[in-house]
Amino acid sequence: MESLQAELDAAREEDTARVIILAAAGKLFSAGHDLKEMTLHRSDPDGGRSFFERTFAVCSRLMQSVVEHPGPIIAEIDGIATAAGCQLVASCDLAVASDRSRFGVNGIDVGLFCSTPAVALTRNMSAKRAMEMLLTGEMIDAPTAVEFGLVNRVAPSETLTDVVKEMAATIAAKSPLAVKLGKQAVRDQAGRSLADAYASASRAMVENMLASDAEEGISAFFDKRQPRWD
């Protein structure tokens, strides 16, 4: 988690990074926290409390960094994503899964309700879909993950990377300023009342309209040419 946090922090400072893709090598995307490691710390003088608090603090910061990152982040899932791994998928802006991928928040099976993954799931899926996963601990396949709203698309495993790169290239071709302002605007209006949400979004539209990229993009549209972004 600390390694991934460092990479996200570095990408935040890199102006040329248009899109971030989170992928994994191996048989799974992420199985979440290491329960063997967690269990070993029960022998600590405090019963593991300090280690548990630090672990979940690092995890919470990481998930917030994904959501609050100025650039769009795509999860490329080829395999299992469970518990905090499923939380990471839900935290990303977009997610594309292979047809062999499966998802779950199955802490409940070992007496541990996935409370922190619930934060991401309930903000990206309907509450009832999220609670179904959280309470039953049952795994869902990739098509069901699309139906639930956890994943955008499903692709064959052998073409997954190509599909994700095509999506990333489409986004990278847009105005980087508009993408950045747009992601922030979507985040800022979430949780507000309807009137406050529209007020926040209207302010974002004004700032976007005043930007040179919007002027260039609209001019290019009328001139029937490709825009040249600042």
Residue with tokens 């993950």: 145
Q: Which residues pair with 74 in a beta bridge?
A: 21, 94
Residue ranges of the chain assigned to CATH 1.10.12: 176-223
Q: How far apart are CA 62 and CA 4, in angstroms?
A: 8
3-state class percentages of the chain: helix first, strand second, coil last, to nearest 5: 60, 10, 30
**From the candidate CATH numbers 1.10.12, 1.20.950, 2.60.120, 3.40.50, the one assigned to the domain spanning 176-223:** 1.10.12
> What's the topology of domain 2-172?
2-enoyl-CoA Hydratase; Chain A, domain 1 (3.90.226)
- Give, for all 230 residues of the chain, the pLDDT tens digit: 999 999 999 998 887 889 999 999 888 999 999 999 999 999 999 999 999 999 999 999 999 999 999 999 999 999 999 999 999 999 999 999 999 999 999 999 999 999 999 999 999 999 999 999 999 999 999 999 999 999 999 999 999 999 999 999 999 999 999 999 999 999 999 989 999 999 999 999 999 999 999 999 999 999 999 999 98
Report helix angle 84-91 to 115-122, nearest 10.
20
Q: How far apart are CA 75 and CA 88, in angstroms?
A: 8
Residue ranges of the chain assigned to CATH 3.90.226.10: 2-172
Q: Are 114 and 138 in contact (CB under 8 A)?
A: no
